[in-house]
Amino acid sequence: MENQIFSVGAGISKSMVLTGHELWFSQNKVRNMEKFQKEITNEGLLASGFKVPLANIHEISYNEASQAAKIKYINEKGKEKKLNINFSNKDLSNQFGQYLGEKLDLFRSSSQEGKIKPLLWNVFILGIAVLMTVLMATMDDSSQLAEVGGKNAGKAAFLKLIVDTLGQTTVVIIGALISLFLAYKLFKRFTNPSSEILYSKDIKAGSAA
C-alpha cells in the first residue's frame, strides 16, 4: 500500500499516497511521486495538497461492503478532523483500512451493520430504476423526451438518443434486468449484513474484536 498513488475522493482531494510516516493528499490527479511531493510542499496560492502525519491518526473505520474509509486525526492546530476517503472499489478501502490500522498498532473491533440504513439507500436506487423502466414502457414516443426543458433537458436528450438507437423495447428490457439485479442485491444485503470495522487507540473499542 505504501508509496503508491491512489485515485480517491477525499473532500476536494483526488489523489492520495501513503508513505512510511504520512498520508499525502492532492486536489489534482497526480501521476508521479516527484510531482506529488512538490504539491504538498507548495504554500500560499500554489498550495494544492496537504499531508497528515500518521502519528496524528487515532481512528480508522470502514464498512466491508463500502468503497469508503474514514480517518480521524489531530491537525496542526490541535483540532480533531474527520476525512472520508472514497476508493475505486471496496477491496481497496478494506485493504487500506486494515493495513493502516495494523501499521499504527491500533485496537480492532467489529460489529454488524444495522439493516435499516443500507436498506433505505438500496430501496431508493431500486425505486429510481423501476420508475425509469415504467416511464419508458408507458411512453408513447421518444419525441416526448424532446419536450423536457430546464436543467433536465440535457439528460432527456441523452435518454432520447439511447431510445432512438436501441429501441424502446430493448431499453425497457435492459431497465427490467437492472431492476431485477438491484432487487437481488437489496435482498442479499438485507439477509447478509456487512461488518463495521473500527481501529482505535481506545483499548475498550478493540476489546470487542
pLDDT in tens, 13-71: 999 999 999 999 999 999 999 999 888 888 766 678 899 999 999 999 999 988 999 99
- Cβ atoms 171, 159 nearer than 8 A: no
94-118 mean pLDDT: 88
Write the DSSP string, 137-148.
HH-S-GGGGGG-
Using the predicted structure, report yes or no on whether residue 133 has a pLDDT greater than 50: yes
C-alpha cell at 84: 472520508
Q: Is 5-113+194-206 a domain of CATH 2.30.29?
A: yes
Is the per-residue pLDDT at 200 higher than 70?
Answer: yes
pLDDT digits (tens, 9 = 90+) for 93-102: 999 999 999 9
Averaged pLDDT, 89-108: 96
Sequence ranges of the domains in the chain:
5-113+194-206, 116-191
Burial class (CB in 10 A: 0-12, 13-18, 19+), 46: exposed
Q: Report the predicted TM-score, pTM, of the whole model to 2 decimal places.
A: 0.66
